[in-house]
Amino acid sequence: MIRPYTPADFPALYAIEELCFESPIRFSRVYLQRLIASPDSATWVAEEHSEIAGFTIVEWYDDPVAGRVAYIQTIEIASQFRRRGIASQLLRQAETSARSAGATLIWLHVESTNEAAIRLYRAHGFTHRGHEDHYYARGRNAEIYSKTLNPDP
């Protein structure tokens, strides 16, 4: 089940953040709280059997050239819940939120070596748009993917 974030979810979300990312790559508590609290973002939580399995944060902004654009800050799944389609559900929900906010394009960075995530984004129609050296801490590189969001039919 995918549902909107509530403040009571934060400890579980941050525990997933700590499991998914090492310092200095992981978001700080303050930064994650700031992303979640932004009026220009949406945070969605995936639950299985009343346990938080993962989450996504998508934010949107107005670009002077492209118009309203959305950026996926993160999609994170606890290891014991991976390979169950939860990331796909969260990605679809992020796209729906972005579309509802008026975004016509959604994009993201993904670590160049994260093959599972790259397969996920490609399977959902994201196109490779570029590469950024040393985007992440410790000199890790990123790939940039984007997708045009068509209005709901």
pLDDT tens-place string over residues 3-57: 999 999 999 999 999 988 777 777 889 999 999 999 999 999 999 988 999 999 9
Is 2-148 in CATH node 3.40.630.30? Answer: yes
**Which amino acid would we find at residue 116?**
A
- Gap between the Cα atoms of 46 and 90, Å rounded: 7
Mean pLDDT on 93-116:
93
- Gap between the Cα atoms of 55 and 78, Å rounded: 9
In terms of average pLDDT, the best of 24-33, 96-105, 111-120 is 96-105
pLDDT-derived band at 60 (thresholds 50, 70, 90) equals: very high
Cα four-point dihedral sign 92, 93, 96, 102: negative
**pLDDT at res. 152:** 62
**pLDDT at res. 74:** 92
Residue boundaries of the structural domains of the chain = 2-148
Mean pLDDT on 59-64:
94
Residue whose tokens read 């490609």: 122
pTM for this model (two decimals): 0.90
